[in-house]
Homo-oligomer: A and B are copies of this chain.
């Protein structure tokens, strides 16, 4: 995650930073309705405690990630905010979550209007939703998402940054729950 040798498809910590600042500070998260997992292409998985307050300063965030990659938990085992596990494929992470419905986001997916999409899911009584958002600056998922996701949807015909996608999802999800 912190090395960029394999080019632009690789996830980047600046995107992860902006993603976490958006997701953790959302109303849906403040209401306790969100769980965040980060999967890296080296099959590492970071579990993010919803109560984590990520520092706005990017250099300090990088320092936190370095500490996490060394110690596998930060700040400590008693009150883990970020927890790192290794050798877990994307498919395995998703299976472990036992979600009712797995939605992957891709500009090439089925175009949907999220507001209506959530209404449909609510009618279908899907409770535990899992959204899969790519954190790379361009390109596709490394894994074939069609084999993992129940559905692949598109919010916009062009690439959107991960934090725009998560905002769209969380604001519309919050609306549905009201």
In the bound complex, what is the Cα–Cα distance between A27 and B157 (angstroms)?
Answer: 10
Q: Select from chain B the residue with minimum beta-carbon distance to A12.
A: B56
Q: How far is the CA of A149 from the CA of B25 in the complex (A)?
A: 26
- Check A26 against B58 for contact (C-beta < 8 Å): no
A25 touching B161 by the CB < 8 A rule?
A: yes
Let me know if A156 is at the binding interface, CB within 8 A. yes
Known: A21-B18, A113-B178. A164 touches B57 (CB 8 A): no
A18-B21, A21-B18, A56-B18 as given contacts; A167 in contact with B30, CB under 8 Å = no
Interface of A is mostly: helix
> Any chain B CB within 8 A of the CB of A14?
yes
A170 CB, nearest partner CB in chain B, Å: 8
A25–B160 CB distance below 8 A: yes
A156-B22 in contact given A14-B56, A172-B171 (Cβ < 8 Å): no
6 contacts between A and B (CB under 8 A): A15-B56, A25-B160, A30-B156, A30-B158, A171-B171, A172-B175
Q: A-side interface residues toward B, CB under 8 Å?
A: 14-15, 18, 21-22, 25-27, 30, 56-58, 113-115, 155-156, 158, 160-161, 163-164, 167-168, 170-172, 175, 178
